[in-house]
Amino acid sequence: MKHLFKKGADGSRPTLLLLHGTGGTEHDLMGLGEEIDPKASILSVRGNVSENGMPRFFRRLSEGVFDIEDLKLRTEELHEFIHDASKEYKFDRSNVIAVGYSNGANIAGSLLFHYADALRGAILHHPMVPVRDMELPDLTGVPVFIGAGTNDPLCTAKESEDLKSLLEGAGAEVELHWENQGHQLTMSEVAAAKKWYNSL
């Protein structure tokens, strides 16, 4: 997968896995990652799917309607990629925290839904429920920050509440943070995510 890796100044910090939104690239969230933890290593990945030239992490049938088969395949592909990257760049595979926005938050959510050990934690900015009616792995104690919008037209408040309860049902420790700026990722949401991260 196309990606950027930046080695952090402090090897004991987590590696931040940055996952962009639809139409983004691996460059988009570098500033966000550095804001969350300036000393962490960063692995920023570009989605392998193209929707009319816009990179995404998995196919969708229409806005908000996912191609579940592709989602599963792409989740597995990303999972393997993180493993391979940890060997290549020599970072601790068990200490990876995802930071995703929108489509990137959805594939991060899908990693949590499919694998018990994919992520040490996750910051999900404006995610949806990636897949419904599936049994989640044991996520006991996995910390998850969800940044949601009371008036987000894509990732509705109900979707955010559902995601929280599904993750909590699997044992994850979820903080749900509300904004009211639609689907936008605002500075106050980033500040809340950073505060949450620093409390881990």
Q: Strand 121-125 relative to strand 143-149: parallel, antiparallel, unpaired?
A: parallel
Measured from the CB atom, the residue of 82 and 155 that comes closer to ligand MLT is 155
Residue nearest ligand MLT by beta-carbon distance: 103
3-state secondary structure of 87: helix
Eight-state DSSP code of residue 14: P
Measured from the CB atom, the residue of 40 and 119 that comes closer to ligand MLT is 119
Measured from the CB atom, the residue of 96 and 129 that comes closer to ligand MLT is 129
Active site residues: 102, 152, 183
Q: Are 90 and 113 in contact (CB under 8 A)?
A: no
Least distance to ligand MLT, CB of residue 51, Å:
9
Least distance to ligand MLT, CB of residue 130, Å:
8
Q: How far is CA 180 from CA 10, 112, 176, in A?
A: 35, 26, 13
Query: Could you list the residues that contact ligand MLT (CB under 6 A)?
Result: 21-22, 60, 63-64, 102-103, 106, 128, 154
Measured from the CB atom, the residue of 1 and 154 that comes closer to ligand MLT is 154
C-alpha torsion 38→108→192→173, nearest 10: -120
Burial track 24-48 (b if 16+ CB lie within 10 A, e otherwise): bebebbeebbeebbeebbbbbbbbb
Least distance to ligand MLT, CB of residue 56, Å:
7
Q: Are 189 and 147 in contact (CB under 8 A)?
A: yes
Least distance to ligand MLT, CB of residue 87, Å:
29
3-state secondary structure of 137: coil
